[in-house]
């Protein structure tokens, strides 16, 4: 059996993986779903006190994830969703993981594709420079458009109530807006020519608004020395890991990883 590390994205916590954890454990695998530093408390506590969200940085998050992974008895399969996909790419580039799968991944530095639906999804965070220093969240309506556009309003509200938290505004501003325009290598830079990187699969949701297929296709195509594979589930939203039929996504991710793991 295999050790699997699940890396959550922005606007959620490891609770977003709750069904995947039990699903993979029932298959006999060991599953670890680490939180970002300061996110170890429940969703409700982070909503009540957002200071850990506003303060967390990408370097300390990567360092924390590396500490978790290097303490494991074997190199794990690493699966990341949304910004967790960016973190997964950074971890693989640093030599971690036997295989990686990124789902609806946010891009690292150097991906210049910004579709209109992505800009509309992120506008509630980018519309005020003050949010760069805050924990910035979505309203239920904004969440519905960005995350759950293939679901009904009631289904989207249910997901919002159980999982949604604010995100570090600094991350959205730095990596969603200005990273590609700053000189030098940024904190989300990966070496697309790294021959030693573990095998990597991109899974995209065909109806994803915030990280549309074009973003994931462009990201995957940048990997040269060790090419990345791409697979798309038509008609699925950014909430593909939680919306009905998530089991098919979980199966695809794990089956590919086990077949390609080093």
CA-based nearest residue to 69, from 41, 42, 90, 46? 90
Which residues, in sequence order, are CB contacts of 111 under 8 Å at separation 6+? 180, 215, 218, 219, 222
Of 74-78, 183-187, 251-255, which gets the smallest average pLDDT?
183-187
Q: 3: exposed, middle or buried (C-beta count within 10 Å: 0-12, 13-18, 19+)?
A: middle
Cβ atoms 199, 101 nearer than 8 A: no
Two structure tokens written together for 168: 């570090």
Question: Is residue 184 pLDDT above 80, yes or no?
Answer: no
Helix (H) or strand (E) holding 253, with range, is helix 246-260
Residues 46-63 have pLDDT tens digits of 999 999 999 999 999 999
Give me the pLDDT at residue 186, please: 72
Count of domains for the chain: 1
195-200: average pLDDT: 96
Catalogue the E-assigned strands of 50-183.
Answer: 77-81, 99-103, 135-136, 167-168
Residue 18's CATH number: 3.40.50.1820
- Give residue 179's pLDDT band: very low, low, confident or very high (50, 70, 90): low
Which residues, in sequence order, are CB contacts of 118 under 8 Å at separation 6+? 209, 210, 211, 212, 215
Helix (H) or strand (E) holding 31, with range, is strand 30-32
Domain residue limits at 87: 3-260
Please state whether the predicted TM-score (pTM) of the whole model is above 0.85: yes
CA-based nearest residue to 167, from 157, 156, 176, 155? 176
160-165: average pLDDT: 98
Per DSSP, what are the bridge partners of residue 135? 168
């Amino acid at each position: 059996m295999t050790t699997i590390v699940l890396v959550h994205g922005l606007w959620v916590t490891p609770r977003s993986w709750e069904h995947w954890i039990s699903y993979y454990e029932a298959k006999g695998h060991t599953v670890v779903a680490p939180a970002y530093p300061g996110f170890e408390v429940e969703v409700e506590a982070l909503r009540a006190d957002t200071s850990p969200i506003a303060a967390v940085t990408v370097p300390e998050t990567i360092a924390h994830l590396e500490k978790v992974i290097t303490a494991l008895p074997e190199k794990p399969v690493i699966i990341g969703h949304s910004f967790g996909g960016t973190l997964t790419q950074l971890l693989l580039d640093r030599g971690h993981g036997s295989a990686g799968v990124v789902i609806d991944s946010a891009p690292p530095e150097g991906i210049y594709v910004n579709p209109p639906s992505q800009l509309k999804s992120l506008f509630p965070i980018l519309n005020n420079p003050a949010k760069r220093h805050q924990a910035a969240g979505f309203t239920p309506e904004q969440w519905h458009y960005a995350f759950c556009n293939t679901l009904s309003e009631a289904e989207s509200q249910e997901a919002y109530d159980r999982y949604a938290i604010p995100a570090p505004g600094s991350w959205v501003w730095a990596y969603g807006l200005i990273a590609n325009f700053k000189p030098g290598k940024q904190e989300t830079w990966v070496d697309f020519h790294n021959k030693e990187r573990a095998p990597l699969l991109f899974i995209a949701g065909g109806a994803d608004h915030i990280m549309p297929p074009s973003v994931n296709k462009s990201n995957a195509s940048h990997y040269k020395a060790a090419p990345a594979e791409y697979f798309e589930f038509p008609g699925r939203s950014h909430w593909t890991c939680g919306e009905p039929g998530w089991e098919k996504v979980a199966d695809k991710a794990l089956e590919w990883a086990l077949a390609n793991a080093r």
